[in-house]
Structure 1
Amino acid sequence: MEMNNKFIKEVPIYIGTSIILLIILFLSIGLSVTIGSVDITVKEVYKVILYKLFKIGDSSVSTGPIADVVWLIRMPRIVLAIEVGAGLSVVGIVMQAIVKNPLADPYILGVSSGASLGATLSVVLGIGSVFGSNSIGFMGFIGAFSISILVLALSNIGGRSNSIKLLLAGMALSSVCSSFSSFLVYISDDSQKLKTITFWLMGSLAGAKWNEIIIIFPIIILGTIFFITQYRTLNLMLLGDEVSITLGTDLHKYRIIYLVITSLMIGMLVYVSGMIGFIGLIIPHIVRIIFGTNHKKIIPIAALLGSIILIWADVISRILIKGTEIPIGIVISIIGAPLFVWLMIKKNYGFGGNK
């Protein structure tokens, strides 16, 4: 008994929290798959899942409308919610460290404007139509990734890039992309196209497909693991370039590597889900308020918390109004903003968790 108590005391709190969040994540998956606008019993849901995953049960449950709803609609959305929630949360933490800005989110360096321009070009002008139903997502990916690389190139003109130059380059290119997007929307006289653009910019997991999820999953997992291994450098970034150089570390090359990897992650997430904002801003702050600034602790916790929140935000978005789906970006803002304000009031908080 004494050994057990000693072991519990020696286990770091962030590891215990990670285990609890992992359990909650599995419970959320198990419960959310049973919830939807189509009435299906819990027993029917798990008959389909058990057969699809482990070939347990009667093969007849693998076909028909119930199997299609469970396996082709609900499960892909849940898995995609995990990928997007984890990916945006991790990238949000990294972006805030790269630019040393508490208001940074995954789209801070013009990525959102680049993605929206790509999507607008696809919808209004038909560019990328060769990719069929995936044309909007593909063009959004191209736009997001291209602007990220341009920001990186522009910030290195006239000297090495730093957090300030990256922010300024991102703001400049963001304004250019937003202007072009606004112009294309203005000249378009097709209300259906405008509705399509608006819905995509607010984000949705409705288009989740297993073939896309399987491709994106290793990218998000490997990216998350990579950034966990880089926790010392990310911790240094919060101190600034001058301090890090004094300590013998030049952040320039790390900043370039991190931006390329985060841009790839964001581009892939934009491709499958459109623009889902705000989660990459609030999750890092919530985790820092509780656990401080050590990226070794907060990156895995943020990934798990982001996944759980996005799963339930997606459930709410598809059942809140019967017969229609609310863009998940709206749901995230409604849930997240009051929570963020409450946390700010509850604790004396500065960027990085300084109290």
Structure 2
Amino acid sequence: MKNKVLKGVPICIGTSVILLIILLLSIGFAVTMGSVDISIKEVYEVILYKLFNIGDSSIGIGAVSDVVWLIRMPRIVLAIAVGAGLSVVGIIMQAIVKNPLADPYILGVSSGASLGATLAVVLGIGSVFGSNSLGIMGFIGAFGVSILVLMTSNIGGRSNSIKLLLAGMALSSVCSSFSSFLVYISDDSQKLKTITFWLMGSLSGAKWNEIAFILPIIILGIIFFTTQYRILNLMLLGDEVSITLGTDLHKFRIIYLLITSLMIGLLVYVSGMIGFIGLIIPHIVRIIFGTDHKKIIPIAALLGAIILIWADVISRILIKGTEIPIGIVISIIGAPLFVWLMIKKNYGFGGNK
């Protein structure tokens, strides 16, 4: 048993290194790809000048510089943050509720974000936030519903995974009903198109100032959950087993939900609703590397970042002159993978075979 454990550690470290190299190569290739034809030489001249002040100052101004540095690079960095964040939050949510179908939005977060966005677009609530009103209201809705789920699940006794799921489903239904009602009474087709596009997810609004605020929080969240691998491993075993081992999961569950809610709210704010990443990536990683969270959290973060970078590239270049919502691309890729996971006989959630 000891040899098996020791043998598994280098494999995970090696995989992480390989994925990190692939991530760096993906960044290098993705920045050269887009609907606007720019030579690879020009792309890297701009990047070298912006990062290290190498080259002529004229490189840092003009249309080419704006496309590379203000449009493509922010999207790539945001794709890394969103892909890594959603993948890790998906792992945490599946452990918290002990449910293989859990994803970052399972506890009513998606419905809360949808309601917030719908209120912003249809009724103009949050207009004080200006052009960011839709994203900020989505963040408020997502985070607010997460807090309500947590409070509701603790009514009449301490929360557990089942009560969290039931509270999430109930509040999700309420939020969805209100959103549907607002959409039904709205007669502005442009507003409905705006809501639909946001709900499908997009990285087109990536801005350096927002990334500078959100990226460190996502990285800190991933690092924090990596240090919590022992508790997360216990969560997969259940509350009864953990209590017999001397650990009460209740307080950890609350802390983890608050942190994941903050991470999801921020990601919803900058990218809208992007599904499947937080559901599929955790299962792919568990199939290959087992259920030890110490190993799978860093790997899932890197894999999620890589996949979202290329999904964003596809959404930008598949149809010249237009952009497909990234949520559609992810669903097209994710649905077949999900079916494959269901028919695979040698994998069970929690590592059972």
Fold-level match, TM-score > 0.5? Answer: yes
Shift of 1:342: 3.0
The question of whether the paired residues in 2 share the 8 Å contact of 1:90 and 1:280 is answered with: yes
Shift of 1:11: 5.9
Shift of 1:303: 0.1
Shift of 1:148: 0.3
CA distance in structure 1 between the aligned counterparts of 2:207 and 2:48, rounded to whole angstroms: 19
CA distance in structure 1 between the aligned counterparts of 2:60 and 2:334, rounded to whole angstroms: 38
User: Are 1:106 and 2:99 an aligned pair?
Assistant: no
Shift of 1:92: 0.1
Secondary structure of 1:103's match? coil
Q: Deviations over 1:38-66 (max 9, x none)?
A: 00000000000000000011111000000
Which of these residues, 224, 228, 231, is aligned with residue 222 of structure 2?
224
Q: How does 1:21-36 map to 2 (within 5 A)?
A: 21-36=19-34
Which of these residues, 96, 117, 120, is aligned with residue 118 of structure 2?
120
- Aligned letter for 2:105? Y
The question of whether the paired residues in 2 share the 8 Å contact of 1:52 and 1:62 is answered with: yes
Shift of 1:347: 5.0
2:46 aligned residue: 48
2:165 aligned residue: 167
Shift of 1:349: 1.1
| Cα root mean square deviation, aligned | 1.2
Which of these residues, 190, 194, 197, is aligned with residue 195 of structure 2?
197
CA distance in structure 2 between the aligned counterparts of 1:103 and 1:27, rounded to whole angstroms: 32
Q: Deviations over 1:294-331 (max 9, x none)?
A: 00000000000000000000000011011111110110
Which of these residues, 315, 318, 321, is aligned with residue 317 of structure 1?
315
User: Are 1:249 and 2:255 an aligned pair?
Assistant: no
Q: Deviations over 1:144-194 (max 9, x none)?
A: 000000000000000000000000000000000000000000000000000
1:341 aligned residue: 339
Shift of 1:346: 4.8
CA distance in structure 1 between the aligned counterparts of 2:342 and 2:124, rounded to whole angstroms: 45
Q: Deviations over 1:257-307 (max 9, x none)?
A: 000000000000000000001110000000000000000000000000000
Secondary structure of 2:328's match? helix
Secondary structure of 1:238's match? helix
CA distance in structure 2 between the aligned counterparts of 1:24 and 1:151, rounded to whole angstroms: 38
CA distance in structure 1 between the aligned counterparts of 2:166 and 2:245, rounded to whole angstroms: 26
CA distance in structure 2 between the aligned counterparts of 1:288 and 1:9, rounded to whole angstroms: 17
2:152 aligned residue: 154
- Aligned letter for 1:248? G
CA distance in structure 2 between the aligned counterparts of 1:69 and 1:24, rounded to whole angstroms: 24
CA distance in structure 1 between the aligned counterparts of 2:283 and 2:325, rounded to whole angstroms: 23
Q: How does 1:72-151 map to 2 (within 5 A)?
A: 72-151=70-149
1:18 aligned residue: 16
Per the alignment, do residues 104 and 9 of structure 1 end up closer, same or farther by CA in structure 2, a change over 3 Å counting? closer
The question of whether the paired residues in 2 share the 8 Å contact of 1:77 and 1:205 is answered with: yes
Per the alignment, do residues 151 and 224 of structure 1 end up closer, same or farther by CA in structure 2, a change over 3 Å counting? same
Which of these residues, 306, 309, 313, is aligned with residue 308 of structure 1?
306
1:238 aligned residue: 236
User: Where in structure 2 are there 5+ consecutive unaligned residues?
Assistant: 1-5
2:3 aligned residue: none
Shift of 1:123: 0.1
Which of these residues, 282, 286, 290, is aligned with residue 284 of structure 1?
282
Which of these residues, 262, 273, 292, is aligned with residue 264 of structure 1?
262
CA distance in structure 2 between the aligned counterparts of 1:216 and 1:223, rounded to whole angstroms: 11
Q: Deviations over 1:185-230 (max 9, x none)?
A: 0000000000000000000000000000000011100000000000
Secondary structure of 1:161's match? coil
User: Where in structure 1 are there 5+ consecutive unaligned residues?
Assistant: 1-7
Count of matched residue pairs: 348
CA distance in structure 2 between the aligned counterparts of 1:289 and 1:234, rounded to whole angstroms: 17
CA distance in structure 2 between the aligned counterparts of 1:169 and 1:10, rounded to whole angstroms: 38
The percent of aligned pairs where both chains have the same amino acid is 89
Per the alignment, do residues 139 and 10 of structure 1 end up closer, same or farther by CA in structure 2, a change over 3 Å counting? closer
Shift of 1:10: 8.5
